[in-house]
Amino acid sequence: MVKRLIIPLILLFTCCFRHNDALYIFFSSPWHNLSPYGTPLPPEYQARFTLYEPLVWVKVNGYIPALAKSWVTIDDTTWVFHLVTNAVFHDGTRFTAGDVVYSFKNYMEKNPDEKRNFYIKSIVPLDSFTVKFILHRNNPLFLPMVSSVPIVSKTLEGTGPYFLYSAKTDTIILKRFRGYRNPVPFEYQYIISIGDAEKRVEALSGVNYGVAFRINPGINMDKLPGGLNTRRVKTYALKYIAFSNPGRLEKEIRHIIYYATRKLDFTPSGEMIYQFVPLLSNFYSPVIEDSLENLCKKASIKPLKKPVTLSLVHWITIKNEGEMIKNALEPYNINTKLISVNNIEEWMKKIKQADMFIITVFFDPNDIVGVWLNVFEEFVNSKRIRNYLKGVKPESFIELKKNSDRIQWMLFEEMPLIPLYNRVETIGYTNNISFETLPEQFVPFYGIKKK
């Protein structure tokens, strides 16, 4: 009788891993590696910050201590972080200030573009649990950027609430790290290859706690602030973030066509610059390609009477996606010229050619760091608009959000720059999950919020 019970229980545990306290994460794209360095794809990023921790987390309304329990600014270029004293790595070794120095130096070596963004001059351990950062210049975005750096040991162990149990082609399983300093209420199954959104939502029905990403992503472009002076605007740049939702992509194409036909008053020699910067090109699928090929037929807007040139600025590694946009716009008499860039300097140079730049600001650590930080900071600190901000300093995106209405109005009046303070995605989840039931360390990078 005992044998009959034990064998099914073993099979249930090994095959399904369905504990009542398991957290299931559903994604549609494959994973490639779980290294703490480099630019991660979505599955790797979400897993990365359960394996590893930064010094601080970013939240919509501020910051959460992680491996740093507190921090102070001595002056504009000096930051001091006081570290937790009870953190250990997954191999049992103790976390100290030396690990922070090693992690940042190693991260900068492996991410030279990020090194330029941080403006770090030196990192000095003041004692075993205090570390000082000295910057080359004031960096108002330093703290949110710090949240993107995983702290590791010299053997690349992490201090996160979970450790890597197994990694297969379609599944990453992370198990609770019993040595974690804070309570961890969930086992964690990370399933990353569940097809389309409907299947991911369906998969949620059988679990107590679950999150399915990319269910209904999108920014409501219809709510753009008004007052656009089209007579002054001859070029138009839109930083577009590509996702796997065909409806989202179709809506963005419609907006390009809408602004080209109704808002910008293009002449045959006019040029519209459409900044295409997908965060992750692997989101594309045959479904999206089919949507792009057919959306022109489904749209109710007629082709332009006069041709418009669309300069599509894209990273050299995602030329195929640029071709898809080009094909989609061709029936509208919008001629697309593909411009490849392969570094930040080229990208910024092309963006600065536009008289208008619509920038989207995110509150997720995955989005808050990256090449657009420099662009955003340059625009906000530029002499053309500095006087119109009336003392509003970009100490954080949160401060800017609080003043977003005033900034939008002033920028519209004086310079056609539109900051959009919106998230780019919403998340489908079961009724059993909320801010209250998730441990706090999940919130910053899962972005889970109540319906």
Q: What is the pLDDT of residues 136-160, one digit of tens each?
A: 887 766 887 788 889 999 988 999 8
pTM equals: 0.48
Report if residue 3 sits inside a domain: no
Choose the weakest-confidence range: 14-28, 73-87, 322-336, 342-356: 14-28
| Arithmetic mean of pLDDT, 6-20 | 35
Distance in angstroms (rounded) separating the CA atoms of residues 189 and 171: 8
User: Measured between alpha carbons, how far is 55 from 64 in angstroms, rounded to an integer?
Assistant: 9
pLDDT tens profile 181-194: 887 655 555 555 55
60 and 95 both lie in a single domain: yes
Q: Is 133's pLDDT higher than 80?
A: yes
- In this structure, the answer to whether residues 151 and 266 fall within a common structural domain is no
Largest interatomic CA distance in the chain: 84
**Same domain membership, residue 323 and residue 356:** yes
Given a cut of 50, whether residue 117 has pLDDT beyond it is: yes
Strand 22-26 with 130-135, pairing: unpaired
Q: Which residue has the higher pLDDT, 347 or 270?
A: 347
User: Residue 138 is part of which domain span?
Assistant: 53-157
Look at residue 47 and tell me if it is in a domain. no
Rounded to 5°, angle at Cα 30 from 25 and 33: 95
Of the listed ranges 33-37, 323-327, 436-440, the one predicted with least confidence: 436-440
Whether 43 maps to a domain, the answer reads no
Token pair listed for 197: 């959104």
Confidence band (pLDDT; 50, 70, 90) for 202? Answer: low
Query: How many alpha carbons fall within 13 Å on the CB side of residue 237?
Result: 24
302 assigned to some structural domain: yes
Residue 84: per-residue pLDDT? 97
pLDDT at 316: 53
Is 351:375 a contact under the CB 8 Å cutoff? yes
Alpha helices in 196-273 (DSSP H): 197-204, 246-258
Q: How many CB atoms lie within 10 A of CB 201?
A: 17
CATH number at residue 107: 3.90.76.10
Q: Is the pLDDT of residue 267 over 70?
A: no
384 within a domain of the structure (yes/no):
yes
Same domain, 351 and 385: yes
Confidence of residue 348 (pLDDT cuts 50, 70, 90): low
Tell whether 31 and 113 lie within a shared domain.
no
In a domain, 377, yes or no: yes
Examine the domain organization and report whether 447 and 389 are in the same domain. no
Q: Whole-number mean pLDDT of the chain?
A: 55
Residue 264 and residue 411 share a domain? yes
> How sure is the predictor about 364, in pLDDT bands with cuts at 50, 70 and 90?
very low
d(Cα 122, Cα 142) in Å, to the nearest integer? 14
pLDDT digits (tens, 9 = 90+) for 206-264: 554 444 443 333 323 233 222 222 222 222 222 222 223 334 444 444 444 444 444 33
* Confidence (pLDDT) at 176: 78
The tally of domains found in the chain comes to 3
The CATH number assigned to the domain holding 167 equals 3.40.190
Is residue 264 within 8 Å of residue 258, measured between CB atoms?
no
The residue out of 157, 177, 207 marking a domain boundary is 157
At 46-61, the pLDDT tens digits run 567 678 889 987 654 4
Residues 442, 370 share a domain = no
341: part of which helix (H) or strand (E)?
strand 334-341
Query: Would residue 41 count as lying in a domain?
Result: no
Residues 31 and 60 in one domain: no
Residue 378, pLDDT score? 43
Residues 374 and 259 in one domain: yes
Residue 324 and residue 442 in one domain = no
Within a domain: residue 45? no
Q: Does residue 333 share a domain with residue 381?
A: yes
Q: What Å distances lie between residue 200 and 292, 389, 420, 429, CA to CA?
A: 23, 44, 29, 10
Provide the pLDDT confidence category of residue 370 given band limits of 50, 70 and 90: very low
* Cα–chain center distance at 47: 14
